[in-house]
Amino acid sequence: MSYSPSDYSEAPEVLRDFLFYLLTIRGRSKLTVENYYLDIRFFFRYLKQLRGLADKSTPMKEIDISDVDISLLQTVTLSDVYSFLNYVYTECGNNPRTRARKVSALRTYFKYLTNNRGLLQNNPVEFLELPASPKTLPKHLTLEQSYDLLSCLNPEDPFYSRDFCILTLFLNCGMRLSELTGLNLTSIVDNTLTVVGKGNKERQLYLNNACLKAIQDYLEDRRKMPNIVDRNALFLNRNGKRLGQRRVQQLVSEFLDKAGLSGMGLSTHKLRHTAATMMYQYGEVDIRVLQEILGHTNLNTTQIYTHVSSRQKESAIESNPLGSFKKKDE
């Protein structure tokens, strides 16, 4: 997907400047900025409809936002935003997580208009809270399921060493999808791997023996590839170009299916959860060390893995066959 300025041609200047600010000043990823654009565009369309500036017969997705300016945004109230969130809940079926993403986008945008640009005197969403979201433990593979996934690959496949290396890094290092596809040959130095996470922040990961062996085997096969285009990219597709995120998602989905693990809501991100859970459960790693490994800004994001471990400990005790033993007088 291209993210040249023409991609935001529909966006009015008051929004386009914000998107480029996120990209160039804040260092947000292109995918993150795209999500901000889509959420704020949706709000602009709703706002125009709410103010009677769009024909009621025009479908929401066809409402033009190119004429939205600061004078319209100066009329926005907290009630308008509540009305918007109610709309995406009742009419669009947005779950709490999706509504929270829209709230985050609007809070960041109006903070930018107020504090960074001084275009608004008061921030209408300053006290807007994130929608309550049910606390759920992250889905992850068990140790046995991880073995099954790594074992399902076909050694006769021409991309076996590459795909095995990808799964090995996911399951051992806990990196994000974008971090894996962004790896270069120069990212590897001895037994360390430098990844670029959110906000273009670099962090260093240590490679265990399984990772080092998988990388070594893959690099031997990579050197034999003809017509390499992206010479510094670590993972390549059959055309010699950097392997894309979408293709990696497809591959992981195929492998999960081969391993009999499809239909469980698993994904590349769940492999990251798996690695984190394994490190915390078996490595007895300090939670702050795990935070650094995963590249979490907020410790609260990492602490969910302590709940995973606690749930497993509880389950282990409950499964003890002596747990149902009763005294003779009972």
Please identify which of the residues 28, 48, 140, 176 carries the catalytic annotation.
176
**By three-state DSSP, how is residue 267 classified?**
coil
Own/partner long-range contacts of 230-237 (Cβ < 8 Å, ≥24 apart): 231/185, 232/184, 232/185, 232/186, 233/183, 233/184, 233/185, 234/183, 234/184, 234/185, 234/187, 234/188, 235/162, 235/165, 235/166, 235/180, 235/181, 235/183, 236/162
- For residues 79-118, one letter each, b for 16 or more C-beta atoms within 10 angstroms of the residue's C-beta and e for the rest, the string is ebbeebbebbeeeeebeeebbbbbbebbbbbbebbbeeee
d(C-alpha 171, C-alpha 152), whole Å: 15
Catalytic (active site) residue 140:
no
Q: Which of 177, 182, 146 is nearest to 164 (CA)?
A: 146
Catalytic (active site) residue 198:
yes
Check: CB of residue 230 under 8 Å from CB of residue 241: yes
Please identify which of the residues 16, 198, 203, 247 carries the catalytic annotation.
198
- Half-sphere exposure at residue 294, Cβ-oriented, CA atoms within 13 angstroms: 29
d(C-alpha 287, C-alpha 114), whole Å: 37
Catalytic (active site) residue 305:
yes
Please identify which of the residues 28, 99, 272, 273 carries the catalytic annotation.
272
> Which residue type, as a one-letter code, is found at position 266?
L
Burial of 274 (0-12, 13-18, 19+ CB in 10 A): buried
Catalytic (active site) residue 273:
no
User: Where does residue 295 fall: left (phi above 0), alpha (psi -120 to 50 degrees), or beta otherwise?
Assistant: left
Q: Which amino acids are annotated catalytic?
A: 176, 198, 269, 272, 296, 305
